[in-house]
C-alpha cells in the first residue's frame, strides 16, 4: 500500500479526492505544499501522473500562490470530471408506454 500524503497538522490524504478536499478546506497549508513541489512528488509516487503534471504546471505558473492553487484545483476537477464521464456507462432511457 502506498503511503498517504501527510500534512503538518496530522491530516492525511490517501487519494486525489482526499487531497483536493483538504486543499479546499485549508488553502494556506495547500499553497505551501504546492509551491514546495510536495504535491507533484506524492502524486507521481501514487501513479497519478496527470495530476502531478497539473501540480507542476500550477507551481511553475507566474501567478500568486493563491492563483496557482486555484489553477491546480480547477485543473484537477476537470480531469476528475472527464475520467468519471469516460468511465460511466450511459443509462438507457425507458421507452414511453402507449
Sign of the four-CA dihedral 13, 52, 71, 80: negative
Assigned C-alpha cell, 29: 497549508
Tens digit of pLDDT for each residue in 35-75?
999 999 999 999 999 999 999 999 999 999 999 999 999 99
Coil vs helix vs strand at 92: coil
What is the reported pTM? 0.81
The residues near 12 (Cβ < 8 Å, ≥ 6 apart) are: 4, 5, 6, 18
Amino acid at each position: 500500500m502506498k503511503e498517504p500524503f501527510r500534512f503538518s497538522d496530522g491530516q492525511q490524504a490517501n487519494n486525489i479526492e482526499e487531497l483536493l478536499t483538504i486543499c479546499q478546506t485549508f488553502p494556506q497549508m495547500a499553497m505551501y505544499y504546492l509551491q514546495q513541489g510536495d504535491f507533484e512528488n506524492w502524486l507521481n509516487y501514487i501513479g497519478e501522473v496527470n495530476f502531478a503534471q497539473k501540480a507542476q504546471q500550477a507551481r511553475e505558473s507566474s501567478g500568486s500562490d493563491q492563483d496557482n492553487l486555484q489553477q491546480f484545483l480547477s485543473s484537477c476537477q476537470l480531469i476528475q470530471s472527464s475520467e468519471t464521464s469516460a468511465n460511466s456507462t450511459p443509462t438507457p432511457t425507458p421507452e414511453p408506454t402507449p
